[in-house]
Structure 1
Amino acid sequence: MSFTRDMMIRYTFTAKRQSFARLVSRASMLGMVLGVASLITVLSVMNGFAAELRDRVLSLVPHAVIVSSEGALTQWQSLAIELQSVPLVKHVAPFIDDVALIQSSSRRLGSQVRGIDVQAQRGVNNLHERIVSGNLKELQSRPFTIALGRSLAGQLGVMTGDVVEVVLPTLSVTPLGVFPRVRKLLVVAEFEVGSSIDALQSYVSLETAKRLFSRGGIDGLQLDLGSPDRVAEAIPVLREKLRDMPGQGTAPHLTIADWRESQGSLFAAVKMEKIMVGVLLLAVIAVAAFNIISTLTMSVTEKARDIAVLRVMGFTSSGVMALFLGHGLLIGAVGIAVGAGLGVFLALWISEIATLLEQLMGVQLFDPSVYYIGRLPSELQWGDVAITTCLALILSVLATVYPAWRASRISPVEVLNNG
């Protein structure tokens, strides 16, 4: 066994080989290094982008909402208390949702206007942490005030302290005709998440929303479950809770939806993109792995006389096959190990490396006004490393089978007679 191992190492690393065969062997190893390192690094960067997107988008999206199909909820406080008793529910906050046109002196844009209880809202999202101008508390203390997304405010050409007009989706009948209802609101705060939400969302107080949209109650309740990942566990429990509540058996008007219904397609697209990029980069590893076929084929041709001598010395055909299988796997394993190490290093330090390149080259790789981020995010997941190395090893094994089998079929008699 030790003799076979020594022969594997000698065939893999010895310098006494034809220069072209040695070049192909090194190229195969280098290709494996680059393929594995690239796949690990790119998957980590995509994980970083997905995590960044998830944190930004879900920072203002409640984990779940409960709404009524029969209009506004008037006696919602008792429902909130019942839901709060469910262990999976951390916080409950009321809301009113509607759409309106917000206009300034220069532009008019549509917006999703949400009425909130500012204090209760702190429990279901981190809107208060996203304020970049003004004071969110003024929504509650001053009537007819509004908080705008930073992008929405920029497109309207307004800032904190300015007044905007909100064109409501209802009509007023006057002696002069029918006109849309318009209300002036004072901008008291601007928030910024770093996603498309900044250009679409705006907030008012719950009382202001009731007066603007003529609501007698609220539209529903927002639920915080501690983590977006807990919705799969919590939703069945909450549905069962709603069915067991008094009145729900005869009037099942309360329905529950979670963030996956409103944002799930976005994250599914990101996940599919990661899979497709992984498959494409896996092709690079496959090319490097099947280069091992060329390396071993030339090695078998070069070592034909050595194989014949080994067979005469008592080596079986299966022993020769094992020798060249080990030879090919050693080439692949060295490339995979170095590539995995390089990939992990790049995944952990790619953000700093990108920043250093920006400073040296004097360019900005990611414009925050376009990409909403100013750095290259990366999140190393060891599962990606394990899958990448396992797939690379499998491809290396497949690439070594035919040349090793061919080596085992060499006839020592023919080789020695021709020699």
Structure 2
Amino acid sequence: MFRPLSIFIGTRYTRAKRRNHYISFISLTSLIGLALGVLAMIVVLSVMNGFQKEMSQRILGMVPHATLSAGKALADWRPVAEAAMRDKRVTGAAPFAELEGMLSFKGSMQPVQINGIDPEREKQVSIVGEHIVQGSLGDLRSGEFGVVIGEITARRFRLKIGDKLTLIVPEVSATASGITPRLQRLNVVGVFKVGAELDSSLALIHIDDASSILRLEPGQVQSVRIALKDLYQAPQVSKAIAAQLGDGYQASDWTRTQGSLFSAMKMEKTMIGLLLMLIIAVAAFNIIATLIMVVADKRADIAILRTLGATPARIMRVFMVQGTVIGSVGTLIGGVLGVIAALNISSWVALFERLTGTHVFSSDVYFVSNLPSDLQWADVALVCGAALLMSFLATLYPAWRAARTQPAEALRYE
């Protein structure tokens, strides 16, 4: 089989047993270091993707993907919902209202965001129904001023089903004080737990009760909430629907309320990826050291090849092939092990917890009770590509040094 001379000699140098065992050891550590770096980056990026996906499903499954409003109360929300549902990217629409206030119970107070919902249609636009731990959304009935609170709020106030608490809502008035508080008695009918900050800052009441607190006419709602197949398209989809509805309609989406959180998570992933890339860089420097010592060890061989007619460019390619082989093998091993680890790390951590009886991620402390992992092949390709590029760049200087070897000087003392 035909093989170019540079590839033949380069691969032979890679697998040959060298006289200097120290060089072989440095070469092996370079390969192992590169493999560990690739493995670590794939696993860490997959875990961070898992956390981001988990937080997206929990937080963005609770808050509106987008809302449509008219700048004033909607007398009939159904035409707006029907217009939104005609877009194939929309999966659900429901009446919605929101207000902010303070919850008070036996002298203790806590800020809260109150969402007015339609219990029958809420499952189309929210995951809250899947996370009710006490009571049910069906217990929210019009005119009864029932409330479903988060698990952290219930624990903080030591509330249980049937307890009553007070909602304090600021209201602009014509008096000298300007703002006067409004008080509304609420009855706890349910508790939800999604494992996020919303467990302490969100509460749900019936849409009719929310309209009453907001002093809207019977049947009027503040806005229409929509859910999307791809929540990252929320800004474009909601603006397009608002434009179709006509002048006066406005769109708001989750990027205005929760966008900073996910931007911070994305930046954190990027910074950790750059820091982990230093592991691969260290392995690449080891390749440089390995090839420099190989060049010194093979000076006589290089001189003989030069006298036989090998050009400096061909000599350079010989050592570039050797370094690239080390980098390719290390990247391949690290990539395979990283993919296997990323796909199984959740079950491995769960097995460790069962065998040791400990909880690495306690649901009482963390938002998640397991170690999530979401392997994305784009990350694998990026990591492996970066490792191969660094390995290739690491071969250039030693190969250039080898190409500059003078045959007469190298053979003088042989």
Q: After TM superposition, is the score higher than 0.5?
A: yes
- Residue 169 of structure 1 and its aligned partner are, at CA, apart by 2.5
Give the match for residue 62 of structure 2. 60
For 1:169, give the aligned amino acid: P
For 1:260, give the aligned amino acid: T
For 1:111, give the aligned amino acid: V
Give the match for residue 196 of structure 2. 195
Checking the alignment, whether the CA contact within 8 Å between 2:67 and 2:238 is kept in structure 1 is: no
Checking the alignment, whether the CA contact within 8 Å between 2:10 and 2:321 is kept in structure 1 is: yes
Structure 2, unaligned runs of 5 or more: none
Give the match for residue 390 of structure 2. 395
Q: 219, 230, 233: which one pairs with 2:233? A: 230
Mapped to 1, the partners of 2:397 and 2:173 lie a distance apart of 82
Q: How many residues align?
A: 406
Residue 221 (structure 1) aligned with residue 224 (structure 2)? yes
For 2:207, give the aligned amino acid: L
Mapped to 1, the partners of 2:80 and 2:372 lie a distance apart of 41
Give the match for residue 322 of structure 1. 317
For 2:191, give the aligned amino acid: E
Give the match for residue 255 of structure 2. 260
Give the match for residue 83 of structure 1. 84
Which 10-residue stretch deviates more, 313-322 or 42-51?
313-322
Aligned partner of residue 125 in structure 1, secondary structure: coil
Aligned partner of residue 372 in structure 1, secondary structure: coil
Give the match for residue 313 of structure 1. 308
Residue 407 (structure 1) aligned with residue 402 (structure 2)? yes
Aligned partner of residue 341 in structure 1, secondary structure: helix
Checking the alignment, whether the CA contact within 8 Å between 1:40 and 1:384 is kept in structure 2 is: yes
Q: How does 1:333-412 map to 2 (within 5 A)?
A: 333-412=328-407
- Residue 306 of structure 1 and its aligned partner are, at CA, apart by 1.2
Identity value in percent: 37
Checking the alignment, whether the CA contact within 8 Å between 2:284 and 2:394 is kept in structure 1 is: yes
Checking the alignment, whether the CA contact within 8 Å between 1:171 and 1:181 is kept in structure 2 is: no
Give the match for residue 145 of structure 2. 144
Mapped to 1, the partners of 2:58 and 2:181 lie a distance apart of 35
Structure 1 pair 315–102 and aligned structure 2 pair: CA distance change class (3 A)? same
Structure 1 pair 82–403 and aligned structure 2 pair: CA distance change class (3 A)? closer
Structure 1 pair 347–85 and aligned structure 2 pair: CA distance change class (3 A)? closer
Structure 1 pair 89–354 and aligned structure 2 pair: CA distance change class (3 A)? closer
Mapped to 1, the partners of 2:412 and 2:42 lie a distance apart of 50
Give the match for residue 28 of structure 1. 30
Structure 1, unaligned runs of 5 or more: none
Structure 1 pair 283–125 and aligned structure 2 pair: CA distance change class (3 A)? same
- Residue 359 of structure 1 and its aligned partner are, at CA, apart by 3.8
Structure 1 pair 289–234 and aligned structure 2 pair: CA distance change class (3 A)? same
Aligned partner of residue 63 in structure 2, secondary structure: coil
Aligned partner of residue 24 in structure 2, secondary structure: helix
Mapped to 1, the partners of 2:180 and 2:8 lie a distance apart of 92
Mapped to 2, the partners of 1:225 and 1:16 lie a distance apart of 62
Aligned partner of residue 42 in structure 2, secondary structure: helix
For 1:353, give the aligned amino acid: W
Mapped to 1, the partners of 2:184 and 2:242 lie a distance apart of 39
Structure 1 pair 75–141 and aligned structure 2 pair: CA distance change class (3 A)? closer
- Residue 192 of structure 1 and its aligned partner are, at CA, apart by 1.2
Checking the alignment, whether the CA contact within 8 Å between 2:38 and 2:338 is kept in structure 1 is: yes
Mapped to 1, the partners of 2:304 and 2:334 lie a distance apart of 36
- Residue 360 of structure 1 and its aligned partner are, at CA, apart by 4.3
Aligned partner of residue 75 in structure 1, secondary structure: coil
- Residue 378 of structure 1 and its aligned partner are, at CA, apart by 0.6
Give the match for residue 37 of structure 1. 39
For 2:367, give the aligned amino acid: Y
Which 10-residue stretch deviates more, 309-318 or 382-391?
309-318
Q: 7, 16, 19: which one pairs with 1:17? A: 19
Mapped to 2, the partners of 1:19 and 1:155 lie a distance apart of 65
Aligned partner of residue 368 in structure 1, secondary structure: coil
- Residue 75 of structure 1 and its aligned partner are, at CA, apart by 3.5
Residue 127 (structure 1) aligned with residue 128 (structure 2)? yes
Q: Deviations over 1:282-335 (max 9, x none)?
A: 111011112111100000000111111222233222221111110111111111
Structure 1 pair 142–290 and aligned structure 2 pair: CA distance change class (3 A)? same
Checking the alignment, whether the CA contact within 8 Å between 1:172 and 1:181 is kept in structure 2 is: no
Checking the alignment, whether the CA contact within 8 Å between 1:172 and 1:180 is kept in structure 2 is: no
Q: Deviations over 1:143-182 (max 9, x none)?
A: 1211111111111110222222223334999xxxx98443
Aligned partner of residue 352 in structure 1, secondary structure: helix
Mapped to 1, the partners of 2:145 and 2:239 lie a distance apart of 39
- Residue 226 of structure 1 and its aligned partner are, at CA, apart by 2.7
For 2:335, give the aligned amino acid: A
**TM-score under structure 1 normalisation?**
0.91
Q: 231, 241, 245: which one pairs with 1:242? A: 245
Which 10-residue stretch deviates more, 6-15 or 314-323?
6-15
- Residue 361 of structure 1 and its aligned partner are, at CA, apart by 4.4
**TM-score under structure 2 normalisation?**
0.92
Mapped to 1, the partners of 2:353 and 2:161 lie a distance apart of 34
Structure 1 pair 403–360 and aligned structure 2 pair: CA distance change class (3 A)? same
Mapped to 1, the partners of 2:90 and 2:335 lie a distance apart of 42
